[in-house]
Chain A
Amino acid sequence: MSIPVLTPNIAAALAADVYDTIEMPAGAEFTPATGVLKTFFDFSRQGGAIHGRSGGLLFRRDSGFAVIGKGKSLTPYANSIAIAFRGTQTGYDWLSNTNTRTVTIENQTQAHKGFYELFKSMRPAMEQQLNPLLRNNAHAIVHCAGHSLGGALAQLAAIWIKKFYGNKVALYTFGAPRVGLKNFALQAPGSVDATYRCIHGDDPVPLAPVWPYYHAPYNGQVVRLTADTGIRVSSHKMRKVPHCYQNSARGDWANLISRERLQRQVFLKREDHHKVTFSEYWMNQIWDALTTLLRQSGGASAFVFGLQGLGAGVHSFYDNLAIELEKSGMNQQHSVHLEGLLACMLAFAGKRVIRAIELTARFIRWVFRQVLSVLDRAVRQAIQQVK
């Protein structure tokens, strides 16, 4: 059974137009700026702009974050509800690998604590608007869309709506980061009825936060809107520039979807470091090599695959992983693979590959930190600062 879904251009318009809510007071009437969205959805009767509370401990502020619309009668979306979430404009700590603690969410899986807390701040207002639309309306289909952080929020909203109201839910994300750990990604197909995870091949934001975060659904489909490769920080924009997501989301889903790359068994050799570039391809190679190594390394493997959550964030996870890798007491063959991996990681981080690579916890931790640091910087630049 399939559910009627939004076309790519309508889903993109939803994720783009919601950015206008930032200048609106809570409850103010929202009018979409894209004609096609106005043709099919009415946002005037649901209670207006929904505010969210974003920022760190010292700086927290309310601003418009989401809107809810109802499909107009006698259109293809007559029995649809559309919910859109905008990305962030300030406070980018949510993407930093130093700020990636997890929390247990509605479907008993682990998701990013910062994303979830922001989503929770909007939930009461969302509930108020959704109750009259979804209570006693089991046939209504809910479409959740968002760009960047908005995509992460849309994913959490989709899971909550499915659990709380029981309606069928379709999810559309554009350049969204990873939201949860492996159990989150594994449960996603049961939590959402259709997922369109749209990316540009060279947008770095979908690469964050790093493993052990996963995209959901696990090994699912991805809508690669441009075939570009590498990492180009300018490929993250949603609207108003030629290469933005709103311009690339055209045509039909059937022609756009490809299968997400599967994790492979990879062994890296020290001499491979000459080929390494700062690219999505090499990032995937490195993480595949790391997980390949972990599967074969006793204690470290148990540490990773028994992971219940990231109470202290990704950095702390990698620090502990370094200790476990040292403790594992690997055989000579594993040591060669670990040395090859560390050499390639150094090259990926733009560091000189030193002749004598030590396999001590201290050194491994230092290499991990170099890689996390360079990825942090690329992602922050994409969202925040640089042309």
Chain B
Amino acid sequence: MWHLQRSTLVCILVGLLALFTHNPAEAGMFGWFKRIDVQVSPEIKGAITLHDKPQADMVIKRGTFFEDSWSWDSTRTDADGHFYFAEKTVKAREVLHERQVAVRLLALDYPTKGDEDLFFRLSSSHNLKSRSSDLLTDGMHCELSAEYTMSYLKSLEYPNMDWHGFQSKCRFLHADKVIVSQAELDAAELEETWRGIHSLLAYITQNASEMDTDDFIRFHVRSSAESGLAMLHKIRELETDIDKLNTLPNFEKKFQHYLNKLNKEDQR
């Protein structure tokens, strides 16, 4: 009797499942039941120094941000200043909106007793888990007296994705694999500066005819020409491609032409 009831129940459930999933709009609703591991902190192996001296027995606090709130745990450095945090994950439903996940590390009682010094912060959307962040925190040497600066993390899984910034006072064991080098940053900035030059010139030429009659246009043509000239100087410092360098005088001439024209009209 029970077997019959159970098989009937299974049939009904299977039928309902088929009915719901038949409609593509409904099919997704079963994602409600899907729970995945969201990494809120990778495994962290680090060392703390102050003026290059290892800091022993220092309390290191780790904050993880998930679902709109922070949770905290802590550890102490050993005699050599080393500290360790295990990977931390939470079970959660998969989401498609931007769900912020972040990890922070703070050194306690620095610079003075009772203070907290933030020396590392990494954030992402959806999940921190990636080959890049795992490698990043696999060996980090943090100097508390160093400046807290922005570096950029490459995505090893998706190399075409925008580099994502993180802040720290640390040097990283696998920096060569996962952190964007200064040369790569300079190349990206150079590319953006060239784009900027082209867009400024396009704006000026599009609007030059209204320069005499419209004060707003005059202001922005002047500003664009001045910015264009300044950016050409920057390109001269960074560009190594001879062919591109040879085009600079032509751009300079064009920006200067509009600037002279505006100056003459102003004098008049």
Find out whether the CB atom of B28 lies under 8 angstroms from the CB atom of A233: yes
Shortest CB–CB separation between residue B69 and chain A, in angstroms?
9
Taking CB atoms, residues of chain B closer than 8 Å to A40 are 192, 196
Shortest CB–CB separation between residue B30 and chain A, in angstroms?
8
User: With the chains together, A9 CA to B192 CA distance in Å?
Assistant: 10
Find out whether the CB atom of A1 lies under 8 angstroms from the CB atom of B207: yes
Find out whether the CB atom of B31 lies under 8 angstroms from the CB atom of A1: no
> Which partner residue on chain B sits nearest A246 by CB separation?
B162
Shortest CB–CB separation between residue A275 and chain B, in angstroms?
15
Interface residue ranges of A315-355 to B (CB < 8 Å): 349-350
Quick one: CB contact mask for A204-246 with B, threshold 8 Å, 1 for yes?
Answer: 0000000000000000000000000001011011111110001
Find out whether the CB atom of A35 lies under 8 angstroms from the CB atom of B165: yes
Is A367 among interface residues, defined by CB-CB distance under 8 A? no
Taking CB atoms, residues of chain A closer than 8 Å to B216 are 1, 138-139, 168
Interface residue ranges of B4-26 to A (CB < 8 Å): 22-26
Taking CB atoms, residues of chain A closer than 8 Å to B3 are none
Taking CB atoms, residues of chain A closer than 8 Å to B67 are 89-90
Taking CB atoms, residues of chain A closer than 8 Å to B25 are 231, 278, 349-350, 374, 377-378
Quick one: CB contact mask for B36-80 with A, threshold 8 Å, 1 for yes?
Answer: 000000000000000000000000000001011010000000000
Is A120 among interface residues, defined by CB-CB distance under 8 A? no
Taking CB atoms, residues of chain A closer than 8 Å to B100 are 19-20, 22-23, 89
A20-B123, A76-B200, A278-B24 known; A385+B31 contact, CB < 8 A: yes
Taking CB atoms, residues of chain B closer than 8 Å to A74 are 226-227, 230-231
Find out whether the CB atom of A383 lies under 8 angstroms from the CB atom of B96: yes
User: With the chains together, A2 CA to B209 CA distance in Å?
Assistant: 12
Interface residue ranges of A1-40 to B (CB < 8 Å): 1-4, 7, 9, 13, 19-20, 22-23, 31-36, 38-40
Taking CB atoms, residues of chain B closer than 8 Å to A88 are 97
User: With the chains together, A374 CA to B27 CA distance in Å?
Assistant: 11
Apart from the given pairs A247-B160, A386-B28, 11 other A-B contacts in the complex at a CB distance below 8 Å: A4-B200, A20-B100, A23-B102, A74-B227, A76-B196, A79-B219, A237-B125, A241-B125, A384-B96, A386-B29, A386-B94
Find out whether the CB atom of B161 lies under 8 angstroms from the CB atom of A22: no
17 contacts between A and B (CB under 8 A): A3-B220, A4-B203, A7-B195, A19-B98, A20-B102, A31-B167, A74-B230, A76-B224, A78-B223, A89-B98, A89-B100, A139-B216, A233-B28, A241-B126, A350-B23, A350-B25, A383-B97
Find out whether the CB atom of A240 lies under 8 angstroms from the CB atom of B94: no
Quick one: CB contact mask for B215-245 with A, threshold 8 Å, 1 for yes?
Answer: 0110110011011001100000000000000
User: With the chains together, A234 CA to B27 CA distance in Å?
Assistant: 13
Find out whether the CB atom of B203 lies under 8 angstroms from the CB atom of A35: no
Find out whether the CB atom of B22 lies under 8 angstroms from the CB atom of A350: yes
Is A113 among interface residues, defined by CB-CB distance under 8 A? no
A76-B224, A350-B26 known; A38+B165 contact, CB < 8 A: yes
Is B87 among interface residues, defined by CB-CB distance under 8 A? no
Taking CB atoms, residues of chain B closer than 8 Å to A382 are 96
Find out whether the CB atom of A89 lies under 8 angstroms from the CB atom of B68: yes
Find out whether the CB atom of B125 lies under 8 angstroms from the CB atom of A386: no
Q: Which 6 A-B pairs have the closest CB atoms?
A: A386-B31, A350-B23, A74-B230, A33-B165, A386-B28, A240-B125
Taking CB atoms, residues of chain A closer than 8 Å to B96 are 233-234, 236-237, 381-387
Is B2 among interface residues, defined by CB-CB distance under 8 A? no
User: With the chains together, A138 CA to B167 CA distance in Å?
Assistant: 36
Shortest CB–CB separation between residue A23 and chain B, in angstroms?
5
> Which partner residue on chain B sits nearest A64 by CB separation?
B100
Give the secondary structure class of A's interface.
Answer: loop
User: With the chains together, A318 CA to B206 CA distance in Å?
Assistant: 47
Is B156 among interface residues, defined by CB-CB distance under 8 A? no
Find out whether the CB atom of B125 lies under 8 angstroms from the CB atom of A238: yes
Interface residue ranges of B234-261 to A (CB < 8 Å): none
Taking CB atoms, residues of chain B closer than 8 Å to A148 are 97-98
User: With the chains together, A375 CA to B188 CA distance in Å?
Assistant: 42
Find out whether the CB atom of B192 lies under 8 angstroms from the CB atom of A36: yes
Taking CB atoms, residues of chain A closer than 8 Å to B164 are 33-34, 240
Taking CB atoms, residues of chain B closer than 8 Å to A90 are 67-68
Is A98 among interface residues, defined by CB-CB distance under 8 A? no
Interface residue ranges of A90-129 to B (CB < 8 Å): 90
Taking CB atoms, residues of chain A closer than 8 Å to B131 are none
User: With the chains together, A168 CA to B24 CA distance in Å?
Assistant: 44
User: With the chains together, A111 CA to B132 CA distance in Å?
Assistant: 43
Is A63 among interface residues, defined by CB-CB distance under 8 A? yes
Taking CB atoms, residues of chain A closer than 8 Å to B192 are 36, 39-40
Interface residue ranges of A349-387 to B (CB < 8 Å): 349-350, 374, 377-378, 381-387
Taking CB atoms, residues of chain B closer than 8 Å to A377 are 25-26, 29
User: With the chains together, A233 CA to B167 CA distance in Å?
Assistant: 33
Find out whether the CB atom of B160 lies under 8 angstroms from the CB atom of A387: no
Find out whether the CB atom of B231 lies under 8 angstroms from the CB atom of A75: yes
> Which partner residue on chain B sits nearest A79 by CB separation?
B223
A78-B223, A239-B125 known; A381+B29 contact, CB < 8 A: yes
Quick one: CB contact mask for B137-178 with A, threshold 8 Å, 1 for yes?
Answer: 000000000000010100000101111111100000000000
Cross-chain contact of A31 among B29, B93, B150, B161 (Cβ < 8 A): B150
Find out whether the CB atom of A35 lies under 8 angstroms from the CB atom of B152: yes
Cross-chain contact of B23 among A233, A246, A278, A385 (Cβ < 8 A): A278
Taking CB atoms, residues of chain B closer than 8 Å to A178 are none
Is B99 among interface residues, defined by CB-CB distance under 8 A? yes
Is A147 among interface residues, defined by CB-CB distance under 8 A? yes
Shortest CB–CB separation between residue B264 and chain A, in angstroms?
21
Cross-chain contact of B28 among A19, A240, A349, A381 (Cβ < 8 A): A381
Is A86 among interface residues, defined by CB-CB distance under 8 A? yes
User: With the chains together, A141 CA to B31 CA distance in Å?
Assistant: 43
Shortest CB–CB separation between residue A155 and chain B, in angstroms?
18
